[in-house]
A = this chain, B = another copy of it.
Amino acid sequence: MKLGIIGLGLIGGSMAIDLKRRGFADEVTGVEADSVNAAAAEKIGLVDRILPLEECVATSDLLVLAVPVGAAVKMLPGILDMFRKEEEDTGACRRTVIDVCSTKEQLSRTVHYHPMRTHYVATHPMAGTEYSGPWAAMPGLFDGRAGIICNQEESSPAAVHLVEKMYDCLNMRLIYMNASSHDVHTAYVSHISHITSFALALTVLDKERNEKHIFDLASGGFSSTVRLAKSSADMWVPIFSQNRDNLLKVIDTYLEKINDFRKAIDSFDEDGIRTLIEDANRIKRIIR
């Protein structure tokens, strides 16, 4: 099995490590547009070789498109075009491509009518850290986490089966849903947490001009709540933009909740504050 990873950041790099070590791939080649990151990925040993995109596509059984979703929307049709050219030229193309992006609807719409659509599987491994780049890649990143496969009926059974084997090798629990549900649910659970965390960082940096105070007074609580505010703009700008409609709804609910706290605190309504906190505590039942 030859694996090609397009985009050697946290997700692509971490997949490269485990899929090679655990024997899923005999060879891992990579494509990386940023020359510094490409040199680092080779030096760290994430991939066996860095290749130009066309060569990587032409030599990989399975391609993982692990670039920010704005770039993925532009690149995916081109990769399927290369598959088509190969089929026209040689009579067959047995390659599969997956993406690993955090929004799925726009990608799915973009290639919905592509003649090679069945060679593409839309996936989202629910794992990550606030760090990015090949230096952030680590073994075991996906172990035990959820891996989502979207619109699997639009992919060929053979392609879906291959991807299931890959995620099984990464020890992920597989979940199946359609692309538009995926984008609703990830807005509700994952994307909103990034907005609240970015806004918290902006607030603290704005109100507390003394950085030494922030450092001194940041107990573990603040650090964990603000952790996601270190996340990269390259990754999150296209996610927020592509998932706009779902995000606006959840932001509006969130603004209501903050305003509920504001009102209760403003009017010294201790019973009201208690009710809000005890309602929020229900999250304990779900998240350990």
Contacts and interface: CB of A to CB of B under 8 A. Distances in A.
Contact of A283 (B192, B204, B241): B204
A3 to B, nearest CB: 23
B223 A225 contact: no
Interface residues of A, number: 93
A22 to B, nearest CB: 21
A175 interface: yes
Given A273-B237, A279-B205, A244 B268 contact: yes
A287 B193 contact: no
A135 interface: no
Given A196-B200, A202-B276, A208-B188, A215 B259 contact: no
12 contacts: A126-B218, A146-B219, A190-B222, A192-B203, A198-B277, A198-B280, A202-B280, A207-B249, A207-B250, A225-B227, A238-B270, A240-B261
Interface in A258-276: 258-262, 265-266, 268, 270, 273-274, 276
Given A233-B277, A273-B237, A193 B258 contact: no
